Amino acid sequence: MATINVKRKKLNFLERIYLPEVFRGMAITSWHFFKNIAFHLLRAIGFKHLRGAVTYQYPEEQRPMSKRTRTRHRLTQREDGSPRCVACMMCETVCPARCIYIVAKENPDPNIEKMPASFDIDLGKCVYCGFCVEACPEDAIRMDTQIVDIAAYSREGMYYTMDELLHPEKHGDKILSDPKKPK
């Protein structure tokens, strides 16, 4: 195997003692620090178009997301509030993480064969691939809630039931509930 000898540049005296580079780094850091403080102060007194550090003050301030971002799932509803899902199991079958669990039952509407008796997703296993949304023939499942702050105190807490999927606005209760703490 051929080897290449790389000649290292010889450091001069100032480079060998490192101090000028240390001070140069401190100067750059200080410049950004004071510039950000100045921008934040100007913003606080009314110059809203100015922005200091690029850090978003999460969770008070959320970074804008593209509408195409795959976020927490939801089940869409018919006009009467029942799920659009016809329990065809396409999403459960295609899911690479095997984290969708559907139990089907007969639909009282004679025009629709089936509906889900239960529809759970274990978001602790989900890889957010979006295959379930693509496979659905009924537009019954979507990943457009823009909810990304999903957390739980236990693995069971990452299970989302049909009711929670039909009503994603309830997600705040889910995050805050700790099954170990008395309510």
Binding residues with ligand SF4: total (CB under 6 A)? 26
Residue type, 91: C
97 binds ligand SF4 (CB under 6 A): yes
Q: How far apart are the first and last CA of the chain?
A: 69
Q: How far is Cα 59 from Cα 2, in angstroms, rounded to an integer? A: 55
- Find all residues with CB under 8 Å of 149, minimum gap 6, and list them: 59, 175
Among 112, 135, 147, 152, binds ligand SF4 (CB under 6 A): 135
How near is the Cβ of 83 to ligand SF4 at its closest, in Å?
Answer: 8
Among 26, 28, 53, 127, binds ligand SF4 (CB under 6 A): 127
Name the segment binding ligand SF4 (CB under 6 A); options: 35-43, 58-66, 99-107, 170-178. 99-107
- For residue 182, whether the previous peptide bond is cis, meaning omega lies within 30 degrees of 0, is no
Q: Pick the closer one to ligand SF4 by CB: 132 or 158.
A: 132
Q: What angle do CA 72, 76, 128 make, to 5 degrees?
A: 25
Backbone angles phi, psi at 169, to 5 degrees: -65, -15
Helices (H), the chain: 13-17, 19-44, 90-94, 131-135, 162-166, 171-176
How near is the Cβ of 120 to ligand SF4 at its closest, in Å?
Answer: 10
Q: Pick the closer one to ligand SF4 by CB: 42 or 97.
A: 97
Among 71, 72, 74, 90, binds ligand SF4 (CB under 6 A): 90
Sites of contact with ligand SF4 (CB under 6 A): 85-91, 95-97, 99-100, 102, 121, 126-132, 135-136, 138, 140-141
